[in-house]
Amino acid sequence: MDYGFRRISCATFDIKIGDVKTNTEHILELIDTEQAKDTDVLVFPELCLTGYTCADMFLRRELTAAAEAGLCDITDETSGSDMIVVVGLPIRSEGKLFNCAAIICDGKILAVVPKTYLPNYNEFYEKRWFASANDAACDRVYICGQEVLFGNDILIETSDGLKLGCEICEDLWVTTPPSDRLAAAGANLIVNPSASNDIVSKREYRLKLVSMQSASCNVAYAYASAGSGESTTDVIYSGHQIIAECGSVKAQNYSYYLNEPMVTSALIDIEKIDNDQVRLNSYKPEFIQGVRSVRVDRSALEDVLPASVNAYPFVPSDVVRRKERCEEILSLQAAGLATRLRKTGMKKAVIGISGGLDSTLALLVTAEAFDMVGYPHSDIIAITMPGFGTTRQTKTSADHLMELIGADARTIDITAACRQHMADIGQPEDCYDVTYENIQARERTQILMDVANKNGGLVIGTGDLSELALGWCTYNGDHMSMYAVNVSIPKTLVRFIIETYAYEKASPAMRDVLIGVCNTIISPELLPPDENGNIKQSTEDTIGKYDLHDFFLYNYVRNGFPKDKLRALAYTAFPQICHKQVDDTLKTFMIRFRTNQFKRNCIPDGPKVGSVALSPRGDWRMPSDYS
């Protein structure tokens, strides 16, 4: 199966200035090496056939003739190969000299792209030799015995889904790069043969520039810069190579001195990029009128997958970034609630506390919001409502947490009310079915709503994004509130936000309680405990691990991946989990996600804090009766 991944490589070598024959040999060797690795696109630096720093030698006809001869050899070498190769060389056309990138595949030159913006400041003076693409007198060029499209308006479209556009070095550094138009016309990959020299801090700036352009254009971006061998008369080149995808740097490399050729490779996901472009509607039909397409037949390799896959897309792996992310999210949640309190004029909040992860986070958010608006914590009415499945462990955690927050702590036992309701509707007390469980959830919600009415307060919802995705909530029970602060926080992130609060803001006593909550088994506690009084009902034993569900949720909603691709990626992301468990959990996710839209269609307001959210008013619209 073609999962949509394409291998992109950037290559450089110890360039010999003006020695086209030797440079061609290096290029041919790298082409052979990358063909054996099933590389889809191979990008070489700007003017790599001659060297970028040839200066006035560019004006010598023998140099441009040698470059064309080298291009012919390279073109011949690609015959029979599906790999697209991008090489830089000077080309004469209509009495002008252009700094060009030739795009080659299977023995053909698909297009020649001339540089549009010529730097002519500081150490750069390209206008001394080259003309801009805007000054070209024709839109075709005759080279290596082929008549080839010529211009900065060309899109290479392959039969396996690649849509490749090209710009050269300085083209990226200007206000309106050619890649803007190419991306708007449908490009999903931009290649950039470059010769950007290095000075202090420029490499970091260049990395940000490439990353941001890939993000703003919603494309993959492959940047290959000149390296060792270029003239060091006034400047130094590091061969900086960058491959980015929609703002994320997939790979980068550089070296001030090359003993061996340097190649940087990464798999880009064109399916993800194309899904994003469709979702964001970035394709602009008016731009395609000014872009010429070259169609190329290629055979997509099947079963190409990355060697590693991020198992926790909602959670940054870097500890410092994770801490910052968690603090930012908590602030966003609190700001949303604070605004709602101020706008409604309500001075009190009502929240049910179970001693579990979600209600703990919701209470911390509420306390932060009260601090923002200057309300005392004593106006937070926190209610623990023990029922048939409540254990001493979670009840104790709830009591300690409410006390340490300084809330108006209350306990309302729901067992008698639930028994009365069971008797009223003829539900046996020993029949532990969905009715038995939902009676408790709805009784708790009724209490919270009535207490809120009685005290002029706002009921704070505790359910999280993962539960919403799976429908793991009782309709008109814990599914309902007046403001749902956790509605866009996945379960895998809830724990980290609480841990961050515990170590960064909490007192020692509260820290102990919060860490205890994080270490407690995830359970709705709706079924009776075991014989030792411990939690018997495990959510993850019933529906599968939240680690997997959140992985599926992110990649299904954010990236638009189909079931087969989710499965294949999960096998790589979670090597410690057996394939059967992955398969079973994926099946559960697909069924529950598609059949629980009716719950999502009527959820209360809540703050969006990340790129994945399921509000029917904003991010996810779906019919409740989807098959």
**266 and 408 assigned to the same domain:** no
**64 and 119 assigned to the same domain:** yes
The catalytic residue among 105, 144, 169, 246 is 169
Q: For residue 288, what pLDDT is reported?
A: 62
Three-state DSSP class for residue 341: helix
Q: For residue 252, what pLDDT is reported?
A: 97
Pairing of strands 189-194, 163-166: parallel
Looking at the DSSP bridge assignments, the partners of residue 267 are 7
Q: For residue 283, what pLDDT is reported?
A: 57
**416 and 385 assigned to the same domain:** yes
Tens-place pLDDT, residues 435-466: 999 999 999 999 999 999 999 999 999 999 99
Q: What range defines the domain where residue 42 resides?
A: 5-296
Q: For residue 258, what pLDDT is reported?
A: 81
Question: Tell me, what CATH number does 438's domain have?
Answer: 3.40.50.620
Q: Is residue 17 part of a domain?
A: yes
Q: Residues 119-147, buried b or exposed e (16+ Cβ, 10 A)?
A: beeeebebeebbbbbeebeeeebebbeee
**175 and 75 assigned to the same domain:** yes
Residue 257's CB: how many other CB atoms inside 10 A? 11
Three-state DSSP class for residue 584: helix
- With residues binned 3-state (H G I as helix, E B as strand, rest as coil), the percentages for the chain, rounded to 5, are 40, 20, 40
Question: Tell me, what CATH number does 274's domain have?
Answer: 3.60.110.10
Q: What is the maximum alpha-carbon separation in the chain?
A: 99
Q: For residue 300, what pLDDT is reported?
A: 67
- Pick out the chain residues at pLDDT < 50: none
Tens-place pLDDT, residues 194-248: 999 888 999 999 999 999 999 999 999 999 999 888 988 888 899 999 999 999 9
| Beta carbons within 8 Å of 49's beta carbon, 6+ residues apart | 20, 23, 24, 27, 67, 70, 71, 87, 88, 89
**254 and 327 assigned to the same domain:** no
Quick check: is 403 catalytic? no
Quote the CA–CA distance of 366 and 453 in Å, as a whole number. 18
Secondary structure of 442-500 as H, E, C letters: HHHHHHHHHHHHHHCEEEEECCCHHHHHHCCCCCCCCCCCCEECCCCCCHHHHHHHHHH
Q: Is residue 553 part of a domain?
A: no
Quote the CA–CA distance of 523 and 536 in Å, as a whole number. 8
Quick check: is 46 catalytic? yes
Q: For residue 339, what pLDDT is reported?
A: 97
Q: Is residue 374 part of a domain?
A: yes
For the beta sheet containing 146-150, the strands, ordered from the edge strand earlier in sequence to the opposite edge, are 140-143, 146-150, 108-114, 96-105, 84-93, 41-43, 5-12, 262-269
Q: Is residue 114 part of a domain?
A: yes
Quote the CA–CA distance of 176 and 192 in Å, as a whole number. 15
**82 and 160 assigned to the same domain:** yes
Q: Is residue 157 part of a domain?
A: yes
| Beta carbons within 8 Å of 465's beta carbon, 6+ residues apart | 486, 487, 488, 489, 490, 491, 553, 612, 613, 614
| Beta carbons within 8 Å of 103's beta carbon, 6+ residues apart | 84, 85, 86, 109, 110, 111, 112, 113, 154, 156, 164, 166
Domain count of the chain? 2
Pairing of strands 483-484, 457-461: parallel
| Beta carbons within 8 Å of 310's beta carbon, 6+ residues apart | 317, 573
Q: For residue 384, what pLDDT is reported?
A: 98
Q: Is residue 548 part of a domain?
A: no
**50 and 194 assigned to the same domain:** yes
Q: Is residue 567 part of a domain?
A: no
**277 and 329 assigned to the same domain:** no
**290 and 351 assigned to the same domain:** no
Quote the CA–CA distance of 113 and 132 in Å, as a whole number. 11
Task: State the DSSP string of 225-259.
Answer: E--BTB--SS-B----EEEEETTEEEEEE--SS-S
Quote the CA–CA distance of 411 and 218 in Å, as a whole number. 52
Pairing of strands 262-269, 5-12: antiparallel
**387 and 290 assigned to the same domain:** no
**267 and 356 assigned to the same domain:** no
Quick check: is 115 catalytic? yes
The catalytic residue among 10, 34, 54, 115 is 115
Pairing of strands 220-225, 241-245: antiparallel
The catalytic residue among 34, 46, 77, 368 is 46
Q: Is residue 86 part of a domain?
A: yes
- Specify whether the CB–CB gap between 520 and 355 falls below 8 A: yes
**213 and 343 assigned to the same domain:** no
Quote the CA–CA distance of 33 and 586 in Å, as a whole number. 38
Which among 263, 296, 329 is the end of a domain?
296
Q: Tokens in use for 196?
A: 């950007």
| Beta carbons within 8 Å of 15's beta carbon, 6+ residues apart | 23, 26, 45, 48, 51, 52, 226, 227, 228, 229, 230
